[in-house]
Structure 1
Amino acid sequence: MDPSELLTGIIRTLGLTALVVLGYSWVIRKFSGGLTKGAAVGFLFALGGIISMNDPIRFEPGVIYDGRTALLALAYPYGGPIGTLIALAAMTAYRIWIGGIGSLSGVIGMVATALIGFACTRIPVRKLKIGPARSLLIGIAASTSLAAIILLPHEIMMTLVGIPLVTVIIANIAGVILLSEFLEREKSRQRIMRALEHEASVDPLTKLQNRRAFDRAALRAMNDNRSKSHQCSLVMIDIDHFKAINDRWGHDAGDTVLAEVATIIRKNVRITDVVVRYGGEEIVLLLTNTPQSAAIELAESVRSHIEQTQFESGDQSLGVTISAGVASLSDRFHDMDAVMKAADRALYRAKSGGRNRVEMA
């Protein structure tokens, strides 16, 4: 084989890395984790391997080189067991379908590469940090799977020994290092993006979500209410006489009360519920899959907890109460704007009716 043709083929094979990284970026945005993410990574790597096998470097009829090695070596670190099984099964089936004299050695080499990738994940990160050195080790280890060429006829195997084999080993190592580096960069970028999105959606004082997060959650709740007949309720809470607390005890005391009220509310709701600092001392609870009767019961429980709590600010102990209005998506209030207005009217009745009480729309 012409060396320039070999080099061009290797560069073309490594170019597949960019497409895989783009796909991986979409996968980690779309799937937060677990089996679904692992399966998606497995399908992505399998697709990359199949595309690569469609445009390989051909040493002899039925003896090919492509970008499978890097993908399989990194399948376990990035796709876990399910991702590895999917990628390996799909690539193996496709290689068998292609056929040729190198089919058996190719399949054995793929299985060996996947096992080597798994074995490398057993090395503790504290001993070998994720980075170029770890990727180099994986690349070198994965290249040992090329020993499967001994299954080829002797005369064909001997044509590969020498420059072609050394070049392929170097390409394998470079492919693993490049792909791993780009995937790690993408993971890091996504982590930063998620952290920034979280900071942009969270109120720094109460650690509750803000109105921006509420708008997204409200849209999801309305869609669920329509498509799945899930009931959705909303509780609007206001701290009674909050201005008087600030005026008498100072804004530090007011901030302490607001933060501790938020903590009590968080402890009384489910992880699926959305708790939002809606503005000033107003807190809104968006309760998914919750009928109005259950929402009223929850609001009353929160009101009682807060009434019985003594809030400490410096050497001062404060008693605080809340008022709440409850409304639900229904035939009367068919969109979130109507529910918000209904809950606000109910809250107004609670405050004008003596405060420290819950009213329903």
Structure 2
Amino acid sequence: MKYLRDSFIKFKKDALSKAFYDSIKYLFFSVILVIILKYIPVVKEWLKVEFTLTIWLIVLVSLLLITASFLLSIYLFNKKLKLIQTENQIDDLTGLKNHKALELELVRIENERNTKDEPISLILIDVDDFKKFNDENSYEIADSILSKLGNLLNKDGRITDETFRYFMRGDEFLIVAKETTISNAQLASERKRKLIEDSTFRIDNNSFNLTVSCGVTEFNIGETKEIVIERLNQALQKAKKKTGKNNTEIII
């Protein structure tokens, strides 16, 4: 009995099941109410002509309520599900879209590259010597720096750009630049690099300056996302091997 009771309670608490349960409950009580009322003399006299029509009308209205409740529950469930999915694709630290969202975006681009010929470029930005920065400062300061950097990159983006945090605990950011050739992406990357170099990040009473290295490539028609990301990483590594880092490299 306890198992049945617990199962019934769980059934009622479920969003979709609860709506169905409530609708059935209202239908049951409506029918019972009509049946009881027909044995009351005054009501019986009033219902003797209209009773058959009334009970079927109640049944019809109740069924419509069940359907409406069920459809509303599905709508609310899907809305909640989309909200959860959206929150699951946002990086908590920077507020940017995370690696999961990036993977979905790259898959979408890959699937559309055979039907759309608009240029799409990728920019990968990595903070220079960030491990050393972590060692010299606290992780709290490092996280604050990444948060401010993410906000700076997001504000600098065009309406056709989308900025992602590449990995959850990493210091890399990836920008998908739509309707952008590799030469224009290189110019955009250089603008962002200089913007970061010229910016001062203030945390509490301390000021910090950063430089970044950037890799740029284009998502060519017919390519897989794995090939493009590999080439993008090669461009970034090429930039980081330059003396002093703090530069942009492209690989076509």
TM > 0.5: yes
Gap regions ≥5 residues in structure 2: 1-15, 17-21, 24-48
The one of 147, 154, 157 equivalent to 1:266 is 154
Aligned to 1:348: 237
Aligned to 1:233: 121
**1:70-149 superposed matches below 5 A:** none
Matches within 5 A, 1:10-21: none
Structure-2 separation of matches of 1:325 and 1:290: 15
Q: Is the 8 A contact 1:217 1:274 kept in 2?
A: no
Contact conserved, 1:264 with 1:302, CA < 8 A, in 2? no
Q: 1:238–1:324: 8 Å Cα contact kept in structure 2?
A: yes
Distance in structure 2 (CA, Å) of the matches to 1:339 and 1:296: 16
Listed as ranges, the gaps of 5+ residues in structure 1 are 1-20, 22-130, 133-160
Give 1:246's aligned residue.
134
Partner of 1:314: 204
Equivalence for 2:215: 325
For 2:135 and 2:151, locate their aligned partners in 1 and report how far apart those are by CA, in whole Å. Answer: 23
Is 1:334 aligned to residue 223 of structure 2? yes
Structure with the higher helix share, 1 or 2: 1
Question: For 1:249-287, what per-residue CA distance to the aligned partner results, in whole angstroms no more than 9, with x for missing partners?
Answer: 211111011111111111222455332222311111122
1:198 aligns with 2:63: no
User: 1:183 aligns to what?
Assistant: 71
Q: How many residues align?
A: 203
SS in 1 for 2:166: strand
* Whole-Å separation in 2 of the counterparts to 1:169 and 1:271: 55
Report what 2:173 is aligned to.
Answer: 283
User: What RMSD over aligned residues (CA atoms) do the two structures have, in Å?
Assistant: 2.4
> Partner letter of residue 226 of structure 2?
D
Distance 1:304 1:176 in 2: 63
Between the aligned partners of 1:297 and 1:257, the Cα distance in structure 2 is 24
Q: Secondary structure at the match of 2:75?
A: helix
Letter in 1 for 2:152: I
What SS is found at the alignment partner of 2:95?
A: coil
1:324 CA drift (Å) = 0.5
Change (3 A) 1:262 1:340: same
Following the alignment from structure 2 to structure 1, what is the Cα–Cα distance between the partners of residues 54 and 245? 81
Relative to the length of structure 2, the TM-score reads 0.72
TM superposition shift of 1:205? 1.1
Letter in 1 for 2:164: V
**Greater Cα shift, 167-176 or 232-241:** 167-176
8 Å CA contact 2:153–2:192 kept in 1: the answer is: yes
1:110 corresponds in structure 2 to: none
User: 2-side partners of 1:329 and 1:243: how far apart?
Assistant: 30
Contact 2:238-2:249 within 8 A present in 1 as well: yes
CA deviations on 1:78-100 (whole Å, 9 max, x unpaired) are xxxxxxxxxxxxxxxxxxxxxxx
Give the direction of change, closer, same or farther, for the CA distance of 1:185–1:270 in structure 2 (3 Å limit): farther
Question: Structure 1 pair 175/339, CA: closer, same or farther in 2 (3 Å)?
Answer: same
Q: Which amino acid aligns with 1:328?
A: E
CA contact (8 A) 2:217 2:228 kept: yes
1:226 is paired with a residue of what secondary structure? Answer: coil
**Cα deviation per residue 1:161-192 (whole Å; 9 max; x = unaligned)?**
72344234323432342223222211221122
CA distance in 2: counterparts of 1:224 and 1:268, whole angstroms = 26
Q: Tell me if the contact between 2:122 and 2:185 (Cα under 8 Å) persists in the aligned partners.
A: yes
Q: CA deviation at 1:195?
A: 2.2
Give identity over the alignment, percent.
28
> Is 1:169 aligned to 2:169, yes or no?
no
Counterpart in the other structure of 2:43:
none
Q: Could you give the per-residue CA deviations for residues 321-357 of structure 1, whole angstroms, max 9, x where no partner exists?
A: 21110000237x9332222122212212222222222
